[in-house]
Chain A
Amino acid sequence: MRFKDVFSIIGPSMIGPSSSHTAGAVRLGRVARELLGAMPKEADIVFYGSFAATYAGHGTDVAVVAGLLRFGTDDARIPDSLRLAAEVGMKVTFRAGAGAAVHPNTLSVELRSDDRFCRMTGCSIGGGNIEVIEASGFDLRFTADYPTMIVFHGDRTGVLADITRLLSGANVNIGYMDVDRKGRLGEAATAVETDGGLSDDLLEEIGRLPGVTGISYIDLNGGAEA
């Protein structure tokens, strides 16, 4: 099911004017920000399809940047996000990408901080709902409707078993998983959607597992603004 619950239909509460171009874009920006795990110094945003044609009119540009600042979809500061980003030293560029997109409303974000880099591609599928289709070079699909952990790890026997064992030990139910690897025994990444939120301790424990090289945690309903 692309749409999971009643609040993906009635909702979100949001600043207008477009749920796909504004609210969905805020959420996509927020996912990218959580993937990076830090305040970006540089953000390069590329719009495709209908996004490319109309991003300025719908405020899609200010919406993505609001997400990078960790604003919610109904934050009254969204229209001011470009100024607020400049104030915290974030350098933002926008451009329209060429070529066919997988979905009419698609965008890619590349983020850099002093020591981190991440790339994310996602689609805004209507009513503020999103589908991420790429995270840092991996074909990972998830909606961020639920708390979502992205684990970067080596493609080794038992890594997933270690992760799921820790989750089950903490009584966390997995709703959905997606795994991709760049090659056999190469780099791999796993997206795990869970029914409940994950504690910092649990995330640290998973991050220390053998073979795990990085971890990001996305909880669009929780977490504080920064």
Chain B
Amino acid sequence: MRFRTLNELAELSVREEKPIYRVMLEDQAMESGRTAEREWDKMKQYYGIMKEAVRKGAAAEGGSRSGLTGGDAKRTLDYALRPDSSLALDAGKAMAYALAVSEVNASMGRIVATPTAGSCGVIPGVFVSSQERFGWSDDDMVGGLFCAGAIGYVIANNSFISGAEGGCQAEIGSAIGMAAGALTELKGGSPAQVVHAVGLALKNTLGLICDPVAGLVEIPCIVRNGFGAVNALAAADMALAGVRSVIPSDEVIQVMLEVGGAMPDIHRETAQGGLAQTPTGRRLAEQLAAGTRTSGDRKDGENDGE
């Protein structure tokens, strides 16, 4: 890739007079040695998987394997349809759709990691709800995914995108930044505004720990995807309104690296701290451990050398 920072990405976009998604697509084709058309088709296939996951989750077809979660997407969507919902329909849908994809993930259903499975709901939530609202085509959304990917590529290579390395800020935080930047470009924002949207979004999740109850990608991961989608809408609106990230977005990414590096192990996906170690978190983990020993849904027996 010809860019290592968001600043370089925006400069390329301005200099070559093409949107960020186009810069990413062309660099991707160069890197992979495949045609831009083929890479576009692969991304379009991924968007199809995202839409299918939204549909399945919103219809409450995604009950988790553990039984800890499920049905919240449908609940939230039904509530969003009420005239007195605080978010109103469009933001409510973004939230519900994000929950939907995360619930499908927890049920061992098919999703696309964006950038990870733990944060797989944010981008589909923002994208599918915005597509319905603004009447955008699938190809518009595929372009948006290339833009989101360019942002994620910079974050991943300058900081991290896994909870085990950098906490939830690295997963949900990155996903919100990617969704916010892509939505800004889809709505006609300038490359500079796209970059501001990323920085604004990331600042709001700095320090977020990864503390999954029983080590499962369910509590609090699923609801954080729902909140993440709403935050991405807010960051895009701020950037499009002209709000700037006074600390440049590339510097914010370095802060994510600093904070994640200083985060104790118990708050980096090990389930040894945070919500996972509350009295209720511990009780749920113990119940599940007892349940899996007797339920027999995992074929342990002689295949388990523990």
List A residues 1-43 near B (Cβ within 8 Å).
1-20, 22-23
CB pair B113 A1 closer than 8 Å: no
Name the residue on B nearest A3 (C-beta): B156
Q: Mark A64-78, 1 if CB is under 8 A from B, else 0.
A: 000000000010101
Interface membership of A170, Cβ < 8 A:
no
Interface membership of B83, Cβ < 8 A:
no
Q: Which of A6, A13, A44, A50 contacts B146 (CB 8 A)?
A: A6
Q: Which of B152, B162, B178, B215 contacts A57 (CB 8 A)?
A: B215
CB pair A16 B109 closer than 8 Å: yes
Interface membership of A95, Cβ < 8 A:
yes
List A residues 117-131 near B (Cβ within 8 Å).
124-128
- Residues in A lying within 8 Å of B, measured CB to CB: 1-20, 22-23, 44, 49-50, 53-54, 56-59, 62, 74, 76, 78-79, 82-83, 85-86, 91-96, 103-105, 124-128, 195-196
Interface membership of B283, Cβ < 8 A:
no
CB pair A94 B306 closer than 8 Å: yes
CB pair A83 B162 closer than 8 Å: no
CB pair B156 A83 closer than 8 Å: no
CB distance from B52 to the nearest CB of A (A): 11
Q: Which of B114, B116, B217 contacts A58 (CB 8 A)?
A: B217
Query: From DSSP, what is the main secondary structure of chain A's interface residues?
Result: mixed
Q: Point out the residues of chain A lying under 8 angstroms from B64, CB to CB.
A: 17
**Could you count the A-B residue pairs with CB atoms below 8 Å apart for me: how many are there?**
201
- Residues in B lying within 8 Å of A, measured CB to CB: 1, 24, 28, 31-33, 39, 42-43, 45-46, 49, 64-66, 104-118, 120, 123, 145-146, 148-150, 152-153, 156-157, 160-165, 170-171, 178, 212, 214-218, 265, 268-272, 288, 292, 298-300, 302-306
CB pair B33 A16 closer than 8 Å: no
Q: Which of B31, B115, B305 contacts A94 (CB 8 A)?
A: B305
Instruction: Given A17-B106, A19-B113, check contact A86 B303 (CB 8 Å).
Output: yes
CB distance from B295 to the nearest CB of A (A): 13
CB pair B149 A104 closer than 8 Å: no
Sample 7 A-B pairs with CB under 8 A, ordered by A number. Answer: A6-B43, A9-B115, A10-B115, A11-B112, A18-B116, A19-B162, A128-B116
CB distance from B167 to the nearest CB of A (A): 11
Name the residue on A nearest B164 (C-beta): A104
Q: Which of B148, B162, B215, B216 contacts A105 (CB 8 A)?
A: B162
Give the residue among B66, B113, B164, B300 with the most A Cβ atoms within 10 A: B113
A53 to B305, CA, bound (A): 16
Name the residue on A nearest B292 (C-beta): A56
9 smallest A-B Cβ distances: which pairs?
A93-B305, A54-B215, A126-B162, A16-B105, A9-B152, A6-B149, A104-B164, A19-B117, A19-B113
